[in-house]
Structure 1
Amino acid sequence: MKTALLFGSSGLVGGHLLNQLIKDDNYNKIKIFVRSEPEINDPKVEIIKTDFNNLQNHKEDIRGDDCFFCIGTTKKNSPDKDEYRRVELDIPREVAKITKLNLVNSFIFVSALYANPKSSGEYIRFKGQVEEELKELNFPKLAIMRPSFLIGNRKEKRASEIIGIFVFKLLSPLLLGPLKKIKPIHSETVARAMIAVVQNDIQQIILESNDISKITS
């Protein structure tokens, strides 16, 4: 039986991932790292109220078998540049370094479509920088998920994403070859794939939306 570490359990992908991990008999404990305690009553779930400004204080908590990292933000939710950088860049790389030192076997990271450490856009650049650092840590198992537009019931409605998803759904039949990766994908599908890459012999590190769909089909 294994212990899962989950960062970002209140998000679109993380919420589905938590539900699936609870149902998964391979895990007898799920540690969720949160700022405020959610209303969860399940014997498998250990809630760790986390000071994300001082992650070193939680080194002993960040021990387990598989780490699933789904934390992310938006410029609207984190308008301060330093805070935005901290959430998108500093927190994931610090968590990754701690998990590696604690001999956590797997690190599964939700990145972004077209992540690139040399991009002029901060969101894409930060995701790309984290990806590069994760590769250098040499986890026994590393998977980087690059979903396109995420479909699901968001707590916060984003008009641009709603329009984008609608347009890309209409265009999906025409998205062939290298364009397959920009097809919208359901957040629940991404969550299922994150568990699947841990439990199966999948060596591919970078998984675009079309790769993620194949794993779960």
Structure 2
Amino acid sequence: MKTALLFGSSGLVGGHLLNQLIKDTNYSKIKLFVRSVPEISDPKVEIIKTDFSNLQNHKEDIKGDDCFVCIGTTKKNSPDKDEYKRVELDIPKEVAKIAKSNLVNSFIFVSALYANPKSSGEYIRCKGLVEEELKELNFPKLGIMRPSFLLGNRKEKRVSETIGIFVFKFLSPLLLGPLKKMKPIHSETVAKTMIRAANENLEKNIFESNEIDELVLNQS
């Protein structure tokens, strides 16, 4: 029986991931790293109120088998450039370094479509830089998810994302070949593939959006 470490459980993918981990018999404990304590009561869940500005204070807590990171923000929620960079880049990198030092076996990270450390777009660049750090840390098992527009019920509405989903859903039949990865994907599907990546030998560590979808379809 394994211990899962989960960062970002309040988000779209993280919420599904938490629910699936609770049901998964491979895991006897789920350590939930949160800013504010959620209303959840389950014997498998250990809630760790986390100071994300001082993650080294939680070094002893970041111990387990599989670390799942779904942390992210938006320019609306983090208008300050330094705070945005801290959430999208610094926190995932520091969590990964601590996890590696604590001999955590697998690290599964929600990145982004077209993640690229040299991109001019800040969001894509930050995700790409985290990916580079993860590869250098050389975890025994690494899973990087690059979902397209995420489908699901968000707590907050994102106008630009809603428009993007509508457009790409409409265009989906035309998105063939290398464009397949642009099709919107359900957040629950991403969560399922993250757990598979931690528990199976999938022969690769970067999963484009269409590959995430295909893995779940093939499983069912």
Give me the whole-angstrom Cα distance separating, in 2, the residues matched to 1:75 and 1:161.
13
Aligned residue identity for 2:120: S
> What are the equivalent positions in structure 2 for 1:36-185 lying under 5 Å apart?
36-185=36-185
- Among the aligned pairs, what percent are the same residue? 82
Question: Contact (CA 8 Å) 1:12, 1:187: kept in 2 or not?
Answer: yes
> Cα RMSD (Å) of the superposition?
0.5
Q: Determine if contact 1:73/1:87 at 8 Å carries over to the other structure.
A: yes
Contact 1:107–1:143 at 8 Å: present in 2 too?
Answer: yes
**TM-superposed deviation, 1:44:** 0.2
Aligned-pair distance for 1:131?
0.3
Cα deviation for residue 17 of structure 1 reads 0.1
Aligned to 2:2: 2
The offset of 1:197, in angstroms, is 1.2
Answering whether residue 206 of structure 2 is matched by residue 211 of structure 1, we say: no
Q: What SS does the corresponding residue of 2:46 show, helix, strand or coil?
A: strand
How far apart, in 2, do the equivalents of 1:83 and 1:161 lie? 21
Secondary structure in structure 1 of the residue aligned to 2:196: helix
TM-score by length of 1: 0.99
SS at match of 2:212: helix
User: Which amino acid counterpart does residue 12 of structure 1 have in structure 2?
Assistant: L
Aligned to 1:15: 15
In the TM superposition, what is the alpha-carbon distance from 1:5 to its structure 2 partner? 0.2
Gapped regions of structure 2 (runs ≥ 5): none
User: Which amino acid in the other structure matches residue 5 of structure 1?
Assistant: L
Structure 1 position 203, deviation (Å): 2.1
User: CA offsets, 1:86-135, max 9 Å, x none?
Assistant: 00010000000000000000000000001100011111111000000100
Partner of 1:200 in structure 2? 200
**190-199 or 41-50, larger mean C-alpha shift:** 190-199
**Contact 1:196/1:216 (8 A) holds in 2:** no
For the residues of structure 2 that align with 1:123 and 1:173, how far apart are their CA atoms? 27
C-alpha displacement at 1:141, in angstroms?
A: 0.4
**Structure 1 residue ranges (4+ consecutive) displaced by more than 3 angstroms after TM superposition:** none
**For residues 61 and 45 of structure 1, what CA distance do their matches in structure 2 show?**
13
The secondary structure found in structure 2 opposite 1:203 is coil
**Aligned partners of 1:12 and 1:153 also within 8 Å:** yes
* Ranges in structure 1 where 5+ consecutive residues have no aligned partner: none
